[in-house]
Amino acid sequence: SIRTLHHYDQIELLTPANKAESGYRYYGKAELLRLQQILFYKELKYSLKQIKAILDNPDFDLMDSLEQQRQQILQEADRLQQLLVTIDKTIVGLQNQEQMITDEELYEGFTPEQKDTYRQEVTDRWGADKLKETEDRLKRLNSQQWTDVKTKGKEIELLLADLMNQDQAADSPMVQKAINAHYAHMCDFWTPNKEQYLGLGKMYTEDERFKAHYEQYGDGLAAYIYEGIKVYCTNDMKVV
């Protein structure tokens, strides 16, 4: 602004090339380049006193100054970009947190007593650390992700029921691929090792609640899945 230019003139930071009798100031190329330097340094948070000392230094070199300013501005741009990334992560985190699944969604269909019983059984069978791992992992999901996990599980169960109805052997490639998908689905909850996965399959056939869940898709499905799991574990949890 005109007021700013007058102030720069008063403190001898930027003197015009000429002044008309009317008081009008004229600036040439050299003055405009100096003004550019002033503006750059101001953007880099230098005080007017510091800027004047730099520009009036006998050893001042315009090209060197521009190169240094360029590097400083690039560093500032990187810093601002990182701030933007941090802000974006915070926004996403808050959005997801607002939609995190609740205990009610996690134990949907259970009465409070059944929920307590189930949690105690998991603790007794697999350990408190596995219960915590499962609940912590699931509570990081938002409602849509939790819905997707449940949908994927049902699709795998229906696929295994269909393979059973086709009389596919437990060691057939198609069944083993389905069991591999079943194991991957279990890893959405926790990461069982070979012995734990075998124990899980056995529980499907011995625990009436789990057995009933699988049998709704076909009589004998719990045992069929267990047979597939045994083959899968015999092959070191690989599809061969």
Q: Which CATH architecture has domain 103-234?
A: Orthogonal Bundle (1.10)
H or E segment at 94? helix 62-98
Reported pTM:
0.53
- Cβ atoms of 26 and 18 within 8 Å: the answer is yes
Question: If you classify domain 2-60 with CATH, what class do you get?
Answer: mainly alpha
Residues 6+ apart with CB under 8 A from 162: none
Write the pLDDT tens digit of every residue in 17-47.
Answer: 888 877 788 888 888 888 888 988 888 888 9
- For the chain, the domains span 2-60, 103-234
Using a pLDDT cut of 90, give the percent of the chain over it: 31
74 alpha carbon, distance to own chain's centre: 27
C-alpha–C-alpha distance, residues 164 and 228, integer Å:
10
Determine contact, residues 133/197, Cβ cutoff 8 Å.
Answer: no
Domains 2-60 and 103-234 alike in fold: no
